[in-house]
Structure 1
Amino acid sequence: MARKTGLGTRGLDELLTAQRKASESHRAEELRQVPVEQIQRGRYQPRVNIRAEELQELADSISAQGVIQPVVLRRVDGGGYELIAGERRWRAAQLAGLHEVPAVVREIPDQAAAAMSLIENIQREDLNPLEEAGALARLIEEFGLTHQQVADAVGRSRAAVSNLLRLRDLSDVPRALLEAGELEMGHARAMLGLAEADQAAVARKVVNNGLNVRQTERLIKDWGKSKPAPPQASTDVRQIETDLSERLGARVKLQTKSNGNGKLVIEYNSLDELDGILAHIK
């Protein structure tokens, strides 16, 4: 399975140096006015949703004062530019009726451009925790960075990075409530040890009752005490797990529900092991 080559320690150091210089001043770079229609959305933009009210407020500010901070762009093949940072400003400027925006154009290779886009957005934009977690995960998965390297790149502790990444394991209901701002990160972290159905029930109860994080932790601590113990896997299920594990050379779990639905989970510890599993399946 192909994977992008990591930036490595030297590449990361160079990237961080470029980030520091860029944040100190734009004076050494050419500031220009770029037509908004020549700019395309960045491929590595981590922010999924921008509220219409938020864009309108920024558009009103731009109408009154103009775009104070330039957007950051890179050239793309065939002409035009790709956004590295400043999507809200670009979209709000169009909403305000501007035909051009001030921009700094940097000549940087694809990998550095992608990493810089993610890092600058994490540092500067008001991302929700799940968007930030997604951006951090892409730095790790697509550029081969460690948790510590990502923490250094975005100015966070390693523990903070790890906690954000764990939010990606949330089920749909708490994810949606977290994205909407109805749950805080502390609420969501407390729910990670629960089953999917329990996460949904607890999340709704927290929102409906306005529970704080400590109250949520107490609720979760008592949540399973009155519930019956889960049924043991049947002999047939265990045998199927054993047979599949032997065939695929990996640990296999069957998670069955009373209504007949379920999940087949295949675990692997490396990309090489995953390649071996896929070869057996093919």
Structure 2
Amino acid sequence: MTKAIKKQALGRGLSALLKDPENDIKSVEDKNADKVVGNIIELEIEAIEINPFQPRSNFNEESLKELATSIKELGVIQPITVRKLDFNKYQLISGERRLRASKLVGLSTVPAYIRIANDNESLVMALVENIQRHDLDPIEIALSYQRLMDEIQLTQEQMSERVGKKRSTIANYLRLLKLDPIIQTGIRDGFISMGHGRAIINIEDLDAQTDIYQKIVSQNLSVRDTEALVKNYHDSLKPKAAVVKPKAASFDVDESQKRAFNAYFGNLVDIKVATNGKGKITIPFQSEADFNRIIELIKG
């Protein structure tokens, strides 16, 4: 705590340096830049604008109020990070919850790390830092990945190197953006998990996706239950094997004729007739003596 207070006290002195037009620091090469860049400095909240690259769009009001209460009692323990835009004008890179909570309790200044960065660098810093956070929902993370890829032309492989995640992990997040917007909202609001979303994404039809989503929510289904629903859906789309009906024989052998064969040979004779009029008569025998008996009958 003593160390934090000492740094913040030093930061108040550096604040005066930043407000001196003759010491306007615009790059790390400028005079006194080493005293400012990378140090904790007390900045006026009014001089800080929100970062347009901020990936977070949902802020839990109850959690924000709890953080505000903590800041009121203990102060801002972890400084925010900003980049210098112009004279006494800064843009937030990370720490929007801390900045919002500080405003709630009426603080006029907040401790901040000063960075010198261009738009692309600011975008990368803001998104990468926020992606590393544990409290972003899966859709916010997916949108952050997509924005980095779109705006600074990163491949999934390059993204993997930037954020220290496996390429397959990044691909799994990005696939969530193919879900119906209703389902994406469900993930953001915590009605279903990323695991549910990954199962549903295997269905291309958006109407079918939402049908399964409704069942998950209404029946409180697990991820495994969802995977089974998706499998059943795909199975229902497979063409059913046509039932091949046997072709009718070209003529019928009536029962009296069969009985006559059976009586003559003394065995159950099998008679089959094909559609082309051809057929087969099978005469079974039980032993060599029975075989010889049948032979004598055939000789007449």
Displacement of 1:227 in angstroms is 6.9
Displacement of 1:201 in angstroms is 1.0
Provide the C-alpha distance between the structure 1 equivalents of 2:234 and 2:114, rounded to a whole number of angstroms: 56
Displacement of 1:61 in angstroms is 1.4
3-state DSSP of counterpart to 1:76:
strand
Q: Report what 1:30 is aligned to.
A: 39
Q: Report what 1:94 is aligned to.
A: 103
Displacement of 1:28 in angstroms is 7.6
Q: Report what 2:122 is aligned to.
A: 113
Verify the 8 A CA contact 2:180 2:210 in the aligned structure 1.
yes
Cα RMSD of the aligned pairs, angstroms, is 1.9
Equivalent residue for 2:146, pick from 115, 134, 137: 137
Displacement of 1:48 in angstroms is 1.0
Q: Report what 2:281 is aligned to.
A: none
Provide the C-alpha distance between the structure 2 equivalents of 1:68 and 1:149, rounded to a whole number of angstroms: 34
Q: Report what 1:60 is aligned to.
A: 69
Verify the 8 A CA contact 2:37 2:116 in the aligned structure 1.
no
1:172-215 Cα distance to aligned partner (Å, 9 max, x none): 22111101011100100111122111111111111111111111
Is 1:180 the counterpart of 2:189? The answer is yes
Equivalent residue for 2:158, pick from 139, 146, 149: 149
1:156-186 Cα distance to aligned partner (Å, 9 max, x none): 1111000001111110221111010111001
3-state DSSP of counterpart to 1:183:
coil
Gaps of 5+ in 1: 1-26, 230-282
The structure whose Rg is larger is: 2
Verify the 8 A CA contact 2:71 2:102 in the aligned structure 1.
yes
Equivalent residue for 1:49, pick from 48, 53, 58: 58
Q: Report what 1:212 is aligned to.
A: 222
Kindly provide the amino acid, as one letter, of the partner of residue 227 in structure 2. Answer: E
Query: Aligned residues, how many?
Result: 203
Q: Residue 32 and residue 125 in structure 1: after superposition, are their counterparts in 2 closer, same or farther (change >3 A)?
A: farther
Greater RCO, CA 8 A, separation 6+: 1
Q: Which moved more, 1:220-229 or 1:169-178?
A: 220-229
Verify the 8 A CA contact 1:173 1:199 in the aligned structure 2.
no
Provide the C-alpha distance between the structure 1 equivalents of 2:182 and 2:216, rounded to a whole number of angstroms: 12
Kindly provide the amino acid, as one letter, of the partner of residue 209 in structure 2. Answer: Q
Kindly provide the amino acid, as one letter, of the partner of residue 231 in structure 2. Answer: K
Displacement of 1:225 in angstroms is 4.5
Q: Which runs of 4+ in 1 moved over 6 A?
A: none
Gaps of 5+ in 2: 1-35, 240-300
**TM score, norm. by length of structure 2:** 0.64
Provide the C-alpha distance between the structure 2 equivalents of 1:177 and 1:67, rounded to a whole number of angstroms: 33
Provide the C-alpha distance between the structure 2 equivalents of 1:218 and 1:182, rounded to a whole number of angstroms: 19
Identity %: 39
Q: Report what 1:200 is aligned to.
A: 210
Kindly provide the amino acid, as one letter, of the partner of residue 206 in structure 1. Answer: I
Provide the C-alpha distance between the structure 1 equivalents of 2:123 and 2:162, rounded to a whole number of angstroms: 13
Verify the 8 A CA contact 1:74 1:108 in the aligned structure 2.
yes
Kindly provide the amino acid, as one letter, of the partner of residue 170 in structure 1. Answer: L
Provide the C-alpha distance between the structure 2 equivalents of 1:125 and 1:108, rounded to a whole number of angstroms: 25
Kindly provide the amino acid, as one letter, of the partner of residue 113 in structure 2. Answer: V
Provide the C-alpha distance between the structure 2 equivalents of 1:130 and 1:218, rounded to a whole number of angstroms: 24
